Protein backbone atom coordinates (compact mmCIF):
# COMPACT_ATOMS: atom_id res chain seq x y z
CA UNK A 1 0.00 0.00 0.00
CA UNK A 2 -1.81 2.94 1.76
CA UNK A 3 -5.08 5.91 6.02
CA UNK A 4 -4.13 8.32 8.41
CA UNK A 5 -4.50 6.99 11.71
CA UNK A 6 -7.25 4.92 10.62
CA UNK A 7 -6.71 1.49 9.69
CA UNK A 8 -7.21 -0.57 6.83
CA UNK A 9 -4.91 -1.34 4.21
CA UNK A 10 -2.34 -0.64 1.83
CA UNK A 11 -0.85 2.37 1.77
CA UNK A 12 -2.42 3.30 4.85
CA UNK A 13 -0.94 6.66 4.54
CA UNK A 14 0.67 7.20 7.63
CA UNK A 15 1.77 4.14 8.93
CA UNK A 16 4.37 6.56 9.68
CA UNK A 17 7.01 4.55 8.15
CA UNK A 18 7.62 7.46 6.12
CA UNK A 19 6.05 5.50 3.58
CA UNK A 20 3.55 6.18 1.18
CA UNK A 21 1.37 3.65 0.29
CA UNK A 22 -0.12 4.04 3.78
CA UNK A 23 -0.29 6.31 8.36
CA UNK A 24 -2.13 5.57 11.37
CA UNK A 25 -3.18 8.75 12.98
CA UNK A 26 -1.91 9.54 16.33
CA UNK A 27 -3.57 10.92 19.38
CA UNK A 28 -3.72 14.67 19.57
CA UNK A 29 -4.08 16.22 22.97
CA UNK A 30 -6.78 18.50 21.63
CA UNK A 31 -8.85 15.46 20.81
CA UNK A 32 -8.93 14.07 24.30
CA UNK A 33 -12.43 15.19 25.09
CA UNK A 34 -14.78 13.40 27.44
CA UNK A 35 -17.76 11.44 26.12
CA UNK A 36 -20.52 13.77 24.97
CA UNK A 37 -23.17 14.53 27.56
CA UNK A 38 -25.66 14.57 24.69
CA UNK A 39 -25.43 10.82 24.31
CA UNK A 40 -28.20 9.18 26.32
CA UNK A 41 -26.99 5.64 26.80
CA UNK A 42 -29.66 3.02 26.30
CA UNK A 43 -32.26 5.40 24.87
CA UNK A 44 -34.57 3.06 22.94
CA UNK A 45 -35.88 5.88 20.76
CA UNK A 46 -32.45 6.15 19.23
CA UNK A 47 -30.60 3.74 16.94
CA UNK A 48 -27.56 1.88 18.26
CA UNK A 49 -24.37 2.06 16.23
CA UNK A 50 -20.96 0.59 17.10
CA UNK A 51 -17.89 2.46 15.85
CA UNK A 52 -14.63 0.53 15.56
CA UNK A 53 -11.40 2.51 15.47
CA UNK A 54 -7.88 2.65 16.77
CA UNK A 55 -7.20 4.85 19.74
CA UNK A 56 -4.80 6.80 17.52
CA UNK A 57 -7.86 8.05 15.62
CA UNK A 58 -9.38 9.64 18.71
CA UNK A 59 -9.80 13.10 17.18
CA UNK A 60 -11.93 11.79 14.34
CA UNK A 61 -13.79 9.40 16.65
CA UNK A 62 -14.91 12.30 18.84
CA UNK A 63 -16.18 14.29 15.86
CA UNK A 64 -18.01 11.30 14.38
CA UNK A 65 -19.55 10.33 17.70
CA UNK A 66 -20.90 13.82 18.29
CA UNK A 67 -22.29 14.11 14.77
CA UNK A 68 -24.09 10.78 15.03
CA UNK A 69 -25.38 11.52 18.52
CA UNK A 70 -26.94 14.76 17.32
CA UNK A 71 -28.76 12.85 14.59
CA UNK A 72 -30.42 10.18 16.71
CA UNK A 73 -27.81 7.50 17.37
CA UNK A 74 -26.50 5.82 20.50
CA UNK A 75 -22.82 5.44 19.68
CA UNK A 76 -20.86 2.58 21.20
CA UNK A 77 -17.11 2.97 20.81
CA UNK A 78 -14.89 -0.02 20.15
CA UNK A 79 -11.42 1.52 20.44
CA UNK A 80 -8.39 -0.71 19.94
CA UNK A 81 -4.80 0.13 20.92
CA UNK A 82 -3.09 -0.99 17.71
CA UNK A 83 -3.70 -2.17 14.16
CA UNK A 84 -3.48 -5.86 15.00
CA UNK A 85 -6.20 -5.58 17.63
CA UNK A 86 -8.30 -3.40 15.36
CA UNK A 87 -8.01 -5.88 12.47
CA UNK A 88 -8.96 -8.77 14.74
CA UNK A 89 -12.12 -6.94 15.78
CA UNK A 90 -12.88 -6.09 12.17
CA UNK A 91 -12.38 -9.68 11.03
CA UNK A 92 -14.67 -10.86 13.83
CA UNK A 93 -17.36 -8.44 12.65
CA UNK A 94 -17.52 -6.57 15.96
CA UNK A 95 -18.60 -3.24 14.52
CA UNK A 96 -21.27 -1.45 12.51
CA UNK A 97 -18.93 1.16 11.07
CA UNK A 98 -15.15 1.17 11.12
CA UNK A 99 -12.89 4.19 10.78
CA UNK A 100 -10.84 3.41 7.70
CA UNK A 101 -8.55 5.03 5.20
CA UNK A 102 -6.92 4.26 1.88
CA UNK A 103 -3.99 5.76 0.02
CA UNK A 104 -3.77 5.26 -3.72
CA UNK A 105 -0.04 4.74 -4.03
CA UNK A 106 -0.10 4.07 -7.77
CA UNK A 107 -1.65 7.36 -8.87
CA UNK A 108 -4.46 5.74 -10.89
CA UNK A 109 -8.18 5.47 -10.04
CA UNK A 110 -8.51 1.73 -10.59
CA UNK A 111 -6.24 1.13 -7.60
CA UNK A 112 -8.53 3.37 -5.56
CA UNK A 113 -11.47 1.00 -5.98
CA UNK A 114 -10.53 -2.48 -7.18
CA UNK A 115 -9.09 -3.97 -3.98
CA UNK A 116 -11.61 -2.16 -1.80
CA UNK A 117 -14.98 -2.52 -3.48
CA UNK A 118 -14.87 -5.20 -6.17
CA UNK A 119 -16.38 -8.54 -5.25
CA UNK A 120 -13.51 -10.75 -4.06
CA UNK A 121 -11.05 -7.84 -3.88
CA UNK A 122 -8.09 -8.18 -1.54
CA UNK A 123 -9.74 -5.96 1.06
CA UNK A 124 -13.31 -5.84 -0.16
CA UNK A 125 -16.30 -6.74 2.00
CA UNK A 126 -18.63 -5.40 -0.71
CA UNK A 127 -20.27 -7.76 -3.21
CA UNK A 128 -22.33 -5.79 -5.70
CA UNK A 129 -22.65 -6.67 -9.39
CA UNK A 130 -23.35 -3.08 -10.43
CA UNK A 131 -20.24 -1.84 -8.65
CA UNK A 132 -18.17 -4.61 -10.24
CA UNK A 133 -19.38 -3.73 -13.73
CA UNK A 134 -18.53 -0.06 -13.32
CA UNK A 135 -15.04 -0.86 -11.99
CA UNK A 136 -14.36 -3.10 -14.98
CA UNK A 137 -15.80 -0.62 -17.49
CA UNK A 138 -13.65 2.23 -16.16
CA UNK A 139 -10.53 0.07 -16.25
CA UNK A 140 -10.74 -0.28 -20.04
CA UNK A 141 -11.18 3.45 -20.65
CA UNK A 142 -8.67 6.21 -21.20
CA UNK A 143 -8.32 9.16 -18.86
CA UNK A 144 -10.53 11.24 -21.12
CA UNK A 145 -13.28 8.63 -21.05
CA UNK A 146 -13.47 7.31 -17.51
CA UNK A 147 -14.59 10.43 -15.62
CA UNK A 148 -18.30 9.76 -16.19
CA UNK A 149 -17.90 6.09 -15.31
CA UNK A 150 -16.23 6.89 -12.00
CA UNK A 151 -19.00 9.43 -11.34
CA UNK A 152 -21.55 6.66 -11.79
CA UNK A 153 -19.47 4.46 -9.50
CA UNK A 154 -19.37 7.09 -6.76
CA UNK A 155 -23.12 7.61 -7.07
CA UNK A 156 -23.78 3.88 -6.55
CA UNK A 157 -21.13 3.35 -3.90
CA UNK A 158 -21.89 6.37 -1.71
CA UNK A 159 -25.30 7.86 -2.40
CA UNK A 160 -27.39 4.95 -3.73
CA UNK A 161 -26.02 2.08 -1.67
CA UNK A 162 -24.12 3.92 1.09
CA UNK A 163 -21.41 1.31 1.45
CA UNK A 164 -19.06 4.01 2.76
CA UNK A 165 -19.37 7.48 4.30
CA UNK A 166 -16.48 9.77 3.27
CA UNK A 167 -14.74 12.02 5.78
CA UNK A 168 -11.85 13.86 4.07
CA UNK A 169 -8.75 13.84 1.89
CA UNK A 170 -5.50 14.27 3.78
CA UNK A 171 -2.42 16.34 3.17
CA UNK A 172 0.77 14.36 2.68
CA UNK A 173 3.52 15.70 4.86
CA UNK A 174 6.97 15.06 6.17
CA UNK A 175 9.48 16.99 8.20
CA UNK A 176 13.23 16.54 8.28
CA UNK A 177 16.31 17.92 9.96
CA UNK A 178 17.76 20.32 7.40
CA UNK A 179 20.94 20.67 9.43
CA UNK A 180 21.64 16.96 8.85
CA UNK A 181 20.10 16.10 5.47
CA UNK A 182 20.61 17.77 2.11
CA UNK A 183 17.35 19.50 1.33
CA UNK A 184 17.30 18.53 -2.34
CA UNK A 185 17.86 14.86 -1.49
CA UNK A 186 14.54 14.54 0.34
CA UNK A 187 11.63 14.01 -2.04
CA UNK A 188 7.93 14.22 -1.28
CA UNK A 189 5.81 12.46 -3.89
CA UNK A 190 2.06 12.35 -4.24
CA UNK A 191 1.97 8.56 -4.52
CA UNK A 192 5.33 6.80 -4.53
CA UNK A 193 7.32 6.08 -1.42
CA UNK A 194 10.35 8.12 -0.47
CA UNK A 195 13.34 7.01 -2.63
CA UNK A 196 16.03 6.11 -0.13
CA UNK A 197 18.79 6.00 -2.74
CA UNK A 198 18.54 9.77 -3.13
CA UNK A 199 18.80 10.61 0.58
CA UNK A 200 22.08 12.25 1.52
CA UNK A 201 23.88 13.97 4.37
CA UNK A 202 24.87 17.62 4.17
CA UNK A 203 28.23 16.39 5.39
CA UNK A 204 29.10 13.82 2.71
CA UNK A 205 31.80 12.44 4.98
CA UNK A 206 29.05 10.72 6.96
CA UNK A 207 27.85 8.62 4.02
CA UNK A 208 29.87 5.51 4.86
CA UNK A 209 29.82 5.61 8.65
CA UNK A 210 26.54 7.12 9.90
CA UNK A 211 22.99 5.93 9.24
CA UNK A 212 20.16 8.13 8.10
CA UNK A 213 17.47 7.51 10.71
CA UNK A 214 13.81 7.28 9.74
CA UNK A 215 10.81 6.11 11.76
CA UNK A 216 7.81 3.80 11.66
CA UNK A 217 4.98 3.02 14.06
CA UNK A 218 4.82 -0.67 13.12
CA UNK A 219 7.58 -3.04 14.29
CA UNK A 220 5.73 -6.11 12.99
CA UNK A 221 6.31 -6.43 9.25
CA UNK A 222 3.58 -8.18 7.25
CA UNK A 223 5.98 -9.77 4.75
CA UNK A 224 9.19 -8.96 2.92
CA UNK A 225 7.88 -10.86 -0.09
CA UNK A 226 6.44 -7.91 -2.04
CA UNK A 227 3.28 -9.70 -3.19
CA UNK A 228 2.28 -10.76 0.34
CA UNK A 229 1.78 -7.36 1.90
CA UNK A 230 0.22 -4.04 0.99
CA UNK A 231 0.13 -2.02 4.17
CA UNK A 232 2.05 0.66 5.97
CA UNK A 233 4.37 -1.74 7.77
CA UNK A 234 6.14 -2.71 4.53
CA UNK A 235 5.19 -0.40 1.66
CA UNK A 236 8.20 1.86 1.87
CA UNK A 237 10.48 -1.02 2.86
CA UNK A 238 9.59 -3.26 -0.08
CA UNK A 239 9.60 -0.29 -2.45
CA UNK A 240 13.24 0.32 -1.55
CA UNK A 241 14.28 -3.34 -1.44
CA UNK A 242 12.91 -4.41 -4.83
CA UNK A 243 13.34 -2.61 -8.13
CA UNK A 244 10.35 -2.40 -10.50
CA UNK A 245 9.87 -2.07 -14.26
CA UNK A 246 8.55 1.46 -13.79
CA UNK A 247 8.37 4.28 -11.26
CA UNK A 248 6.15 7.29 -10.69
CA UNK A 249 7.34 10.87 -10.73
CA UNK A 250 6.51 13.07 -7.75
CA UNK A 251 3.34 14.19 -9.55
CA UNK A 252 2.23 10.66 -10.52
CA UNK A 253 3.52 10.46 -14.10
CA UNK A 254 4.92 7.12 -15.28
CA UNK A 255 8.67 7.01 -15.82
CA UNK A 256 11.45 4.51 -16.41
CA UNK A 257 13.81 6.78 -14.45
CA UNK A 258 15.44 4.82 -11.62
CA UNK A 259 13.67 1.59 -12.57
CA UNK A 260 14.83 -1.73 -14.06
CA UNK A 261 13.86 -0.45 -17.52
CA UNK A 262 15.83 1.92 -19.69
CA UNK A 263 12.60 2.64 -21.61
CA UNK A 264 9.10 1.27 -22.14
CA UNK A 265 6.65 1.38 -25.06
CA UNK A 266 2.95 0.68 -25.53
CA UNK A 267 1.96 -1.06 -28.76
CA UNK A 268 -1.11 -0.25 -30.83
CA UNK A 269 -4.25 -1.62 -29.22
CA UNK A 270 -3.09 -0.99 -25.63
CA UNK A 271 -2.74 -4.68 -24.77
CA UNK A 272 1.00 -5.20 -25.39
CA UNK A 273 3.65 -3.39 -23.36
CA UNK A 274 7.41 -3.62 -23.93
CA UNK A 275 10.32 -2.98 -21.54
CA UNK A 276 14.04 -2.88 -22.33
CA UNK A 277 16.00 -3.93 -19.24
CA UNK A 278 19.05 -2.47 -17.54
CA UNK A 279 22.08 -4.69 -17.08
CA UNK A 280 23.68 -2.99 -14.07
CA UNK A 281 21.77 -4.45 -11.11
CA UNK A 282 22.64 -7.60 -9.19
CA UNK A 283 20.74 -9.09 -6.27
CA UNK A 284 22.11 -8.40 -2.80
CA UNK A 285 22.08 -10.81 0.14
CA UNK A 286 23.11 -10.70 3.79
CA UNK A 287 26.08 -12.62 5.16
CA UNK A 288 27.06 -12.11 8.80
CA UNK A 289 24.64 -9.15 8.82
CA UNK A 290 26.58 -7.43 6.03
CA UNK A 291 25.29 -6.76 2.50
CA UNK A 292 27.13 -8.56 -0.27
CA UNK A 293 26.81 -8.88 -4.03
CA UNK A 294 25.34 -12.30 -4.93
CA UNK A 295 26.83 -12.09 -8.41
CA UNK A 296 23.39 -12.88 -9.83
CA UNK A 297 22.12 -10.29 -12.29
CA UNK A 298 18.51 -9.12 -12.18
CA UNK A 299 17.13 -10.17 -15.55
CA UNK A 300 14.18 -11.12 -17.70
CA UNK A 301 13.71 -14.53 -16.07
CA UNK A 302 13.23 -12.79 -12.72
CA UNK A 303 10.81 -10.25 -14.23
CA UNK A 304 8.69 -12.95 -15.84
CA UNK A 305 8.67 -15.04 -12.67
CA UNK A 306 7.85 -12.08 -10.44
CA UNK A 307 4.95 -10.76 -12.49
CA UNK A 308 3.36 -14.13 -13.22
CA UNK A 309 3.37 -14.99 -9.51
CA UNK A 310 2.05 -11.50 -8.71
CA UNK A 311 -1.09 -12.18 -10.77
CA UNK A 312 -1.58 -15.75 -9.53
CA UNK A 313 -3.76 -15.83 -6.42
CA UNK A 314 -2.47 -19.30 -5.59
CA UNK A 315 1.25 -18.65 -5.99
CA UNK A 316 1.65 -18.04 -2.25
CA UNK A 317 -0.57 -18.44 0.79
CA UNK A 318 -2.29 -15.25 1.89
CA UNK A 319 -1.55 -13.44 -1.38
CA UNK A 320 -2.51 -9.81 -0.66
CA UNK A 321 -2.00 -8.09 -4.02
CA UNK A 322 -3.13 -10.41 -6.82
CA UNK A 323 -6.14 -8.26 -7.79
CA UNK A 324 -3.77 -5.43 -8.66
CA UNK A 325 -2.22 -7.62 -11.34
CA UNK A 326 -5.15 -9.73 -12.51
CA UNK A 327 -5.19 -7.93 -15.86
CA UNK A 328 -1.83 -9.45 -16.76
CA UNK A 329 -2.41 -12.24 -19.28
CA UNK A 330 1.18 -13.16 -19.99
CA UNK A 331 4.78 -11.99 -19.62
CA UNK A 332 7.41 -13.25 -22.05
CA UNK A 333 10.86 -12.64 -23.47
CA UNK A 334 11.30 -11.05 -26.91
CA UNK A 335 14.32 -12.36 -28.80
CA UNK A 336 13.76 -11.08 -32.35
CA UNK A 337 14.51 -7.36 -32.90
CA UNK A 338 12.51 -7.49 -36.14
CA UNK A 339 9.34 -7.95 -34.10
CA UNK A 340 9.94 -4.61 -32.40
CA UNK A 341 10.54 -2.98 -35.76
CA UNK A 342 7.24 -4.23 -37.17
CA UNK A 343 4.96 -2.86 -34.41
CA UNK A 344 3.81 0.74 -34.08
CA UNK A 345 3.51 2.50 -30.74
CA UNK A 346 0.04 3.37 -29.50
CA UNK A 347 -1.05 6.74 -30.93
CA UNK A 348 2.20 7.16 -32.87
CA UNK A 349 3.74 6.42 -36.24
CA UNK A 350 7.01 5.41 -34.54
CA UNK A 351 7.88 1.76 -33.96
CA UNK A 352 8.18 0.07 -30.60
CA UNK A 353 11.88 -0.45 -31.34
CA UNK A 354 12.50 3.29 -31.78
CA UNK A 355 10.64 3.99 -28.55
CA UNK A 356 12.77 1.53 -26.62
CA UNK A 357 15.99 2.92 -28.10
CA UNK A 358 15.43 6.57 -27.14
CA UNK A 359 18.35 7.94 -25.18
CA UNK A 360 20.32 4.70 -25.22
CA UNK A 361 24.07 4.91 -25.68
CA UNK A 362 23.96 1.96 -28.08
CA UNK A 363 21.04 0.99 -30.31
CA UNK A 364 19.67 -2.54 -30.22
CA UNK A 365 22.03 -4.87 -32.08
CA UNK A 366 20.79 -8.08 -30.52
CA UNK A 367 18.23 -9.38 -28.02
CA UNK A 368 19.57 -12.08 -25.72
CA UNK A 369 17.74 -14.78 -23.77
CA UNK A 370 20.52 -15.28 -21.22
CA UNK A 371 20.66 -12.32 -18.80
CA UNK A 372 24.38 -12.91 -18.34
CA UNK A 373 24.91 -12.03 -22.00
CA UNK A 374 23.18 -8.65 -21.83
CA UNK A 375 25.62 -5.80 -22.44
CA UNK A 376 24.18 -2.35 -23.05
CA UNK A 377 27.54 -0.97 -24.20
CA UNK A 378 27.51 -3.50 -27.05
CA UNK A 379 23.80 -3.04 -27.82
CA UNK A 380 22.84 -6.46 -26.44
CA UNK A 381 19.67 -6.19 -24.40
CA UNK A 382 16.83 -8.13 -22.88
CA UNK A 383 13.29 -7.05 -23.78
CA UNK A 384 10.19 -8.23 -21.94
CA UNK A 385 6.68 -8.13 -23.39
CA UNK A 386 3.65 -7.94 -21.09
CA UNK A 387 0.20 -8.68 -22.50
CA UNK A 388 -3.04 -7.73 -20.76
CA UNK A 389 -6.36 -9.57 -20.85
CA UNK A 390 -7.97 -6.52 -22.45
CA UNK A 391 -6.89 -2.95 -23.25
CA UNK A 392 -5.80 -1.65 -19.86
CA UNK A 393 -3.31 1.25 -19.83
CA UNK A 394 -3.59 1.52 -16.02
CA UNK A 395 -1.64 -1.75 -15.79
CA UNK A 396 1.50 0.40 -16.00
CA UNK A 397 0.65 2.14 -12.74
CA UNK A 398 0.43 -1.23 -11.02
CA UNK A 399 3.88 -2.12 -12.33
CA UNK A 400 5.17 0.89 -10.37
CA UNK A 401 3.63 -0.49 -7.15
CA UNK A 402 5.78 -2.22 -4.54
CA UNK A 403 3.92 -5.51 -5.15
CA UNK A 404 5.47 -5.60 -8.65
CA UNK A 405 8.95 -5.62 -7.16
CA UNK A 406 11.33 -8.02 -8.89
CA UNK A 407 12.42 -10.98 -6.78
CA UNK A 408 15.03 -13.64 -7.55
CA UNK A 409 13.41 -16.61 -9.27
CA UNK A 410 16.23 -18.86 -8.15
CA UNK A 411 16.13 -17.79 -4.50
CA UNK A 412 12.35 -17.69 -4.03
CA UNK A 413 11.90 -21.11 -5.60
CA UNK A 414 14.62 -22.52 -3.35
CA UNK A 415 12.84 -21.19 -0.22
CA UNK A 416 9.17 -21.73 -1.10
CA UNK A 417 9.28 -25.51 -1.42
CA UNK A 418 6.07 -26.06 0.56
CA UNK A 419 2.70 -27.06 -0.93
CA UNK A 420 0.70 -23.82 -1.05
CA UNK A 421 -2.60 -25.67 -0.57
CA UNK A 422 -1.24 -27.37 2.56
CA UNK A 423 0.78 -24.47 3.94
CA UNK A 424 1.27 -24.80 7.69
CA UNK A 425 2.26 -21.58 9.42
CA UNK A 426 3.70 -23.59 12.31
CA UNK A 427 6.24 -25.49 10.24
CA UNK A 428 6.59 -23.81 6.84
CA UNK A 429 8.74 -20.68 6.51
CA UNK A 430 8.00 -18.72 3.34
CA UNK A 431 10.34 -16.32 1.60
CA UNK A 432 10.12 -12.92 3.27
CA UNK A 433 8.88 -14.12 6.66
CA UNK A 434 9.73 -11.35 9.12
CA UNK A 435 10.89 -13.92 11.70
CA UNK A 436 13.86 -14.74 9.46
CA UNK A 437 15.18 -11.19 9.80
CA UNK A 438 14.29 -10.67 13.46
CA UNK A 439 17.10 -11.08 15.95
CA UNK A 440 16.69 -14.27 17.93
CA UNK A 441 16.58 -18.01 17.52
CA UNK A 442 14.72 -17.92 14.19
CA UNK A 443 17.03 -15.40 12.52
CA UNK A 444 18.07 -16.79 9.14
CA UNK A 445 18.13 -13.99 6.60
CA UNK A 446 17.45 -15.48 3.15
CA UNK A 447 16.51 -12.26 1.38
CA UNK A 448 17.75 -11.58 -2.14
CA UNK A 449 16.84 -8.00 -3.02
CA UNK A 450 17.00 -6.21 -6.35
CA UNK A 451 16.56 -2.67 -5.03
CA UNK A 452 18.94 -0.10 -3.57
CA UNK A 453 18.79 -1.49 0.00
CA UNK A 454 18.42 -4.77 1.86
CA UNK A 455 17.21 -5.38 5.40
CA UNK A 456 19.99 -6.85 7.50
CA UNK A 457 18.09 -7.41 10.75
CA UNK A 458 15.41 -5.97 13.00
CA UNK A 459 14.23 -6.11 16.58
CA UNK A 460 11.44 -4.39 18.49
CA UNK A 461 13.45 -1.18 18.59
CA UNK A 462 14.86 -0.71 15.10
CA UNK A 463 15.50 -2.16 11.63
CA UNK A 464 18.87 -1.86 9.89
CA UNK A 465 19.10 -1.56 6.10
CA UNK A 466 22.31 -1.70 4.09
CA UNK A 467 23.19 -0.43 0.63
CA UNK A 468 23.04 -2.98 -2.19
CA UNK A 469 26.67 -2.91 -3.38
CA UNK A 470 25.63 -3.92 -6.91
CA UNK A 471 22.80 -1.48 -7.58
CA UNK A 472 23.43 0.79 -10.58
CA UNK A 473 26.99 1.42 -9.40
CA UNK A 474 28.55 4.54 -10.87
CA UNK A 475 25.23 6.03 -11.96
CA UNK A 476 23.20 8.83 -10.38
CA UNK A 477 20.88 6.15 -9.00
CA UNK A 478 23.55 4.46 -6.89
CA UNK A 479 22.56 4.88 -3.21
CA UNK A 480 24.38 7.80 -1.61
CA UNK A 481 24.38 6.50 1.97
CA UNK A 482 25.50 3.06 3.14
CA UNK A 483 23.13 2.66 6.07
CA UNK A 484 19.45 3.40 6.69
CA UNK A 485 17.94 2.83 10.11
CA UNK A 486 14.23 2.77 10.93
CA UNK A 487 13.34 3.47 14.52
CA UNK A 488 10.05 2.02 15.72
CA UNK A 489 8.17 4.74 17.58
CA UNK A 490 4.57 4.01 18.45
CA UNK A 491 2.94 7.43 18.14
CA UNK A 492 3.28 10.68 16.23
CA UNK A 493 3.89 12.90 19.25
CA UNK A 494 6.88 10.79 20.26
CA UNK A 495 8.13 10.77 16.66
CA UNK A 496 7.95 14.54 16.48
CA UNK A 497 9.84 14.81 19.78
CA UNK A 498 12.48 12.42 18.43
CA UNK A 499 12.85 14.55 15.31
CA UNK A 500 13.25 17.76 17.30
CA UNK A 501 15.83 16.16 19.61
CA UNK A 502 17.87 14.74 16.73
CA UNK A 503 17.13 11.06 17.47
CA UNK A 504 15.66 10.67 13.99
CA UNK A 505 16.32 12.69 10.84
CA UNK A 506 13.00 12.49 9.03
CA UNK A 507 9.39 12.04 10.16
CA UNK A 508 6.77 11.04 7.62
CA UNK A 509 3.15 11.84 8.40
CA UNK A 510 3.29 14.93 10.61
CA UNK A 511 -0.16 15.72 11.97
CA UNK A 512 -1.75 18.84 10.54
CA UNK A 513 -2.25 20.14 14.06
CA UNK A 514 1.55 20.03 14.54
CA UNK A 515 2.61 21.97 11.45
CA UNK A 516 3.11 25.18 13.46
CA UNK A 517 5.49 23.40 15.84
CA UNK A 518 7.62 22.21 12.93
CA UNK A 519 7.61 25.63 11.29
CA UNK A 520 8.77 27.25 14.52
CA UNK A 521 11.85 25.01 14.78
CA UNK A 522 14.71 26.44 12.72
CA UNK A 523 16.38 23.01 12.45
CA UNK A 524 13.40 21.52 10.66
CA UNK A 525 11.95 21.75 7.18
CA UNK A 526 8.29 20.91 6.50
CA UNK A 527 7.13 19.51 3.16
CA UNK A 528 3.42 19.20 2.32
CA UNK A 529 1.21 18.45 -0.67
CA UNK A 530 -2.35 17.19 -1.25
CA UNK A 531 -2.29 13.41 -0.99
CA UNK A 532 -4.19 10.47 -2.43
CA UNK A 533 -5.25 9.42 1.08
CA UNK A 534 -8.96 9.35 1.89
CA UNK A 535 -10.48 8.66 5.31
CA UNK A 536 -13.97 7.22 5.46
CA UNK A 537 -16.39 5.07 7.42
CA UNK A 538 -16.78 1.52 6.15
CA UNK A 539 -20.08 -0.23 6.91
CA UNK A 540 -20.20 -3.84 8.04
CA UNK A 541 -21.84 -5.99 5.35
CA UNK A 542 -22.62 -9.07 7.45
CA UNK A 543 -24.76 -9.95 10.44
CA UNK A 544 -25.54 -6.38 11.48
CA UNK A 545 -28.50 -4.10 10.95
CA UNK A 546 -26.38 -1.77 8.80
CA UNK A 547 -25.71 -4.71 6.49
CA UNK A 548 -29.42 -5.19 5.88
CA UNK A 549 -30.68 -1.60 5.82
CA UNK A 550 -29.58 1.00 3.28
CA UNK A 551 -31.80 3.45 5.16
CA UNK A 552 -29.76 3.00 8.32
CA UNK A 553 -26.52 3.43 6.39
CA UNK A 554 -27.83 6.60 4.72
CA UNK A 555 -28.84 8.01 8.10
CA UNK A 556 -25.18 7.71 9.09
CA UNK A 557 -24.04 9.08 5.73
CA UNK A 558 -26.04 12.30 5.96
CA UNK A 559 -24.98 12.82 9.58
CA UNK A 560 -21.38 13.35 8.47
CA UNK A 561 -20.41 17.00 8.25
CA UNK A 562 -17.05 17.28 6.53
CA UNK A 563 -16.77 20.99 7.32
CA UNK A 564 -16.25 20.13 10.99
CA UNK A 565 -13.28 17.91 10.13
CA UNK A 566 -11.76 20.63 7.95
CA UNK A 567 -12.20 23.17 10.75
CA UNK A 568 -10.56 20.93 13.33
CA UNK A 569 -7.58 20.31 11.04
CA UNK A 570 -7.23 24.03 10.20
CA UNK A 571 -8.23 23.44 6.58
CA UNK A 572 -5.36 21.06 6.03
CA UNK A 573 -7.91 18.48 4.88
CA UNK A 574 -10.07 18.49 1.76
CA UNK A 575 -13.58 17.26 1.04
CA UNK A 576 -14.01 13.76 -0.37
CA UNK A 577 -16.76 11.65 -1.90
CA UNK A 578 -14.87 8.39 -2.28
CA UNK A 579 -11.35 6.98 -2.51
CA UNK A 580 -11.34 8.15 -6.15
CA UNK A 581 -11.75 11.82 -5.18
CA UNK A 582 -8.04 12.83 -5.11
CA UNK A 583 -7.55 11.50 -8.66
CA UNK A 584 -10.80 12.06 -10.56
CA UNK A 585 -12.97 15.11 -9.93
CA UNK A 586 -16.49 13.80 -10.62
CA UNK A 587 -18.37 16.88 -9.43
CA UNK A 588 -20.32 14.97 -6.78
CA UNK A 589 -20.37 16.23 -3.19
CA UNK A 590 -21.63 14.92 0.13
CA UNK A 591 -23.55 17.58 2.06
CA UNK A 592 -24.54 16.99 5.66
CA UNK A 593 -28.33 17.01 5.99
CA UNK A 594 -29.92 16.47 9.39
CA UNK A 595 -33.35 16.33 7.77
CA UNK A 596 -32.32 13.50 5.44
CA UNK A 597 -30.59 11.71 8.31
CA UNK A 598 -33.80 11.81 10.35
CA UNK A 599 -35.90 10.76 7.35
CA UNK A 600 -33.75 7.70 6.65
CA UNK A 601 -33.52 6.81 10.34
CA UNK A 602 -37.31 6.91 10.63
CA UNK A 603 -37.64 4.78 7.50
CA UNK A 604 -35.30 2.23 9.04
CA UNK A 605 -37.33 2.15 12.28
CA UNK A 606 -40.58 1.82 10.36
CA UNK A 607 -39.17 -1.10 8.42
CA UNK A 608 -38.39 -2.94 11.65
CA UNK A 609 -41.99 -2.78 12.91
Helix (H, G, I), strand (E, B) or coil at 190: coil
Tens of pLDDT, residues 200-259? 999 999 999 999 999 999 899 999 999 998 888 999 999 999 999 999 999 999 999 999
Taking the C-alpha atoms of residue 366 and residue 414, their distance in angstroms, rounded to an integer, is 31
Consecutive H or E run containing 216: strand 211-216
Helix (H, G, I), strand (E, B) or coil at 50: strand
pTM for this entry: 0.82
Give me the mean pLDDT over the 560-580 stretch: 95
**Which of 269, 247, 248, 392 is CA-nearest to residue 325?**
392
Tens of pLDDT, residues 449-466? 999 999 999 999 999 999
Taking the C-alpha atoms of residue 533 and residue 292, their distance in angstroms, rounded to an integer, is 37
pLDDT of 4 above 80: no
CB 121 within 8 A of CB 115: yes
What pLDDT does residue 522 have? 97
Largest Cα span, the chain:
80
Give me the mean pLDDT over the 481-501 stretch: 96
pLDDT of 394 above 60: yes
What pLDDT does residue 6 have? 38
Q: DSSP secondary structure string, 12-29?
A: -TTSSSS-S--------G
What pLDDT does residue 43 have? 56
CB 193 within 8 A of CB 236: yes
Per-state percent for the chain, helix, strand, coil, to nearest 5 = 30, 25, 45
Distances (CA, A) of 39 to 60, 70, 119: 17, 8, 36
pLDDT band for position 82 (cuts 50, 70, 90)? confident
**% of the chain at pLDDT higher than 70:** 93
Distances (CA, A) of 155 to 145, 151, 255, 526, 556: 17, 6, 33, 37, 16
Amino acid sequence: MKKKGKLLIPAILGVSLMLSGCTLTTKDEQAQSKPSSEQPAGDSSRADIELLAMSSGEADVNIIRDQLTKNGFNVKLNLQPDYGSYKAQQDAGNYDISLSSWTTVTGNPDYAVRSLFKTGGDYSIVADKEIDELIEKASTQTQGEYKDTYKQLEQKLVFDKAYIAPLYISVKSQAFNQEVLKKDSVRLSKSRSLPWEELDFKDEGKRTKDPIILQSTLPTLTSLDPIKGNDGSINIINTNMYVRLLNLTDDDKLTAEGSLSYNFAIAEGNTDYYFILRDDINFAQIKDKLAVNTGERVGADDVIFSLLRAKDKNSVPNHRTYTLHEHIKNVELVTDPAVLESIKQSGSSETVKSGLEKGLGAKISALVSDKKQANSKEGKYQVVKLTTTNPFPQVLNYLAHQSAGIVSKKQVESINTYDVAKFDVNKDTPYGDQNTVTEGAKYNNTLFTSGPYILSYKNDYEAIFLKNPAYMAGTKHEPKVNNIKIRFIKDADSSLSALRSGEIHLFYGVLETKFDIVKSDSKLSLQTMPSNAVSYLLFNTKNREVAKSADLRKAVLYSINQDEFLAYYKNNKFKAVSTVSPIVQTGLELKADAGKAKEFLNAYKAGKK
